[in-house]
Structure 1
């Protein structure tokens, strides 16, 4: 069955940008697809995480962070990460598409490699790892599957940071070890910890495999292999591949030392040793191992490999070691000559090796164009040899319309000369129209605003004209253009509550209630309170009322007489006007200003609510009886 056509992702447009063309490979943690970036019109490789990982929030958070770190890593031997994203249940990386094969494919096809050829693969791998180590990153999963050989002979390392993201998941330790246990350092097995020296160990195991065609340890279960990593020593490669130069065995031995402090302290240090070994190996006639490296003593037993089948070309080790010893005896007297010859050709070899590494593509950085005029920015980038595409714009509150909002890849990303990148222009702030909300319920108003991309702030106000619970108006008003996300004040009718009329003069109380659309009946009674003022009301203060409802006021008989405090002094004697204070009129003033003014004059202030406008409508006492004893209480209605 064609598994590619059955794959549900094939043919899908991810994130509105990546059209999945076909499936390339499937691994333990992800599946790799060939895809077209429709925005930049370029082919990319999409690494899509398996669903079990994508459903783990801890993995997704760590995955995003690691992807950002790797995207900043610029090196010709590292597969570049362009983008990272999610599309519903799909978590993916967009990466440089590298036509070619993995190092695992090469090993399956050819078996073991000659020492010189193995080093020529390991040197760029170590250069990539060294750049990562200098940037503070650890690969954690160095193995042939993560090394790509391009059709034009370049070497690329992939999957930086993915193993670290996996550590954030709920996967078990055994589950994490199954795919990579053959290359895992002792400290990763025992503690789960890894640093740059763990990558060095894995690189040493990989070099062993390139030279011998197999890993140093095999077992019936992953834990059996893990046990050997911790308790056994990697055997000399020469025990399986007798023509292995001693320089290679020394390189592998130091890289795979059990104690991290005895290894090369990072990949750059191992790179230096690998370059030296490459320089000293003969250029012709195979690996040259038998001329310079064979030991006169029988090779030690192959620790940890006894359960492995014999290599296809390998004869028993004791029959192959003896000829090496004989050749060494014949050549022993010439060793100083080899040393002198090595010194003599060192400069020429160094120059040749430098040329090997320099023959890589020239990389430049994407310029920082954010904030510039789009047309000007495009022309400036084109003048530097870039191929620039202006894609659909995006709304942004900070960058003005017609300016560069971002570039893809972002500024500072290292790319090959004359590469293509896109400019995303800003459309400025996104404006939306405030919808009409009058007479809607609170829930309906909130829904309308949310659909328009606006937020709601509800304020309830007394009103007799609009039914309780319905919208009176909005601020900003309906029809106005505002930024998306703006908070709109929704004013909702809370109906009307009966105001507190006690203490108001009859005439003012009647006029106020009639102004609210309420009917008024007045009943006069004899009372010791101030004549012609309200002393009771129906409905009670703060009771709900409706337009046209009948109300009743009980008012003290209006026969005029001065109040007791007007006739007597504070001591009950006849009044002495010389000690009285004049109450100023504060009607029409702001309530807080009125309160402050009266209090500064020594009066106490009592506030009653009529409409809640914050402006004084009535006051008692006030003119004409504005002479009161010091410290008297003045009541204000607003």
Structure 2
């Protein structure tokens, strides 16, 4: 039957089919999608240049990024497969493109507490470095006065930022207001940035003149700017009526005068054999400052 026209037609059809399949396969592997191609040199090209080179080689780019200390941002670090590899057309080539140097900006840290500063630094992959304390009249105690390096500085991951924390205002010795007039006390307080609180009730004082500062609280130790000092103004010494001790024994005279709030000086005349008070200064009935000295003469 193969010799018949019908048989020859069947053979010819099979041959044509085989020829077409062979041609299609040849096109696919030589010029079509299955044709081999070579990965070009891509390292050190810009991302756009690398994509264009792959497109020309009938390959597709897949891009990832990573930091690099040596390769500029946007430049290809490596490719997978590497240059010279043989691939079918349309295959993927992965490009690793540089994001540049890994750097993080120091955040704003001024006038926040140390815990918050630590959290802010951690969020940008930085750490707290040495922490020191300094006095400050403007920054509240416990808050950041300064950072080194300052905010905005670009640093490597894990770099440390030194902090200076406020210890509050610098303490100083409390001024002595005693003996000053109220106006002079106010002037001194203003110079020291202190606040005065003057009591309305005045007090007796044998040490400070009437109308001047007699007491203050605190009277010693240290204060800081803005602290309050409480003052009391002197009414002068308390005047007490001197009791008469005429013709009293020395022991009686001393006891009576001391009970009245006086100190006593005893002058004994010729050994004071009679032990009787014959005189006193100030004399009985006069007024004298409480705590002052009354002199008696004993004979």
User: TM-score if structure 1 supplies the norm length?
Assistant: 0.20
**Larger strand share, 1 or 2:** 2
Higher relative CO (Cα under 8 Å, sequence separation at least 6) belongs to 2
